[in-house]
Amino acid sequence: MALNLIKLCVGADSVEDLEEWIAERLEEHRRKGEPVEQYHTTRMVPTRAAEIINSGSLYWVIKGSVQCRQRIVDIRPFRDAEGIGRCHLVFDPLVVRTRWQPRRAFQGWRYLKTSDAPADLGGGKHRVGEIPPKLRQELADLGLL
């Protein structure tokens, strides 16, 4: 069974902000001749990495609600220049919108069981991603998303 992570997306006001940030970072890697991949650096290494890699996702909490996720393709522990243990969570750069799920603020990341994770939003007749971000937030605040 897949295991996921959940984390606050600090600095992003919307899924669109996150997508823009990802595109900028990928382009920056291209310009520098570095591997073109998206990752997030964290201090703690998930002890259950084998349950997460290639089958789990990181669910992003934006403005108090889970709004999207990214599939985790690798977890790479390393030591930084000061010798402190850190970890790169490497993602598929595709951002998948999810049903909004309210979450209180917390520090770091947490494990998230698949059964507790919000469902993906399909592209069918309910294209929530096409609703302007401000209106999506208002609808979510009213419990309509």
pLDDT of 112 above 60 = yes
**pTM for the structure as a whole:** 0.84
Average pLDDT score over residue span 25-37: 95
Give the pLDDT confidence of 51-110 residue by residue, as tens digits.
999 899 999 999 999 999 999 999 999 999 999 999 999 999 999 999 989 999 888 899
Of the listed ranges 10-24, 104-118, 125-139, the least confidently predicted one is 125-139
How much is the mean pLDDT over the chain? 89
Residues 118 and 99 sit within 8 Å (Cβ to Cβ): yes
- Between residues 37 and 133, which one has the greater pLDDT? 37
Cβ atoms < 10 Å from Cβ of 5: 23
Q: How confident is the model at residue 36 (pLDDT cuts 50, 70, 90)?
A: very high
